[in-house]
Amino acid sequence: MAKGKKSGDAKGIRRQQRSLKDNIRGITKPAIRRLARRGGVKRISGVMYEEVRGILKGFVEGVVRDSVTYTEHSKRTTVTALDVVYALRKRGRMLYGYA
């Protein structure tokens, strides 16, 4: 049996999928405000919150896509912290403390 692959004979319990339609709303207004405060922003316009959610979603999607690419290249099924670190490094965002 190949590394990271399950045999075809095993029957496991089926897990119910969660609906993923509106998860971006989980990035709340106060969370965006805290990030902005950390960046030195004093006042935020109301239309900025949706804009920030869209930009953040695009960034996270790209990092996840690159992380999965590293995982698949290694013939694994589990994304490790190092995969994410390498994906962030590829995008020019170094993250220390996980390698």
What is the token pair recorded at 61?
Answer: 């999607």
Tell me the C-alpha distance between 10 and 32, whole Å: 45
pLDDT of residue 67: 97
Neighbours of 29 (CB within 10 A): 13
Query: pTM here?
Result: 0.74
So where are the chain's domains? 26-90
Give the max Cα distance, the chain: 59
What is the token pair recorded at 74?
Answer: 């290694």
Encode pLDDT of 10-61 as tens digits: 677 888 877 777 888 899 999 999 999 999 999 999 999 999 999 999 999 9
- According to CATH, the topology of domain 26-90 is Histone, subunit A (1.10.20)
pLDDT of residue 21: 77
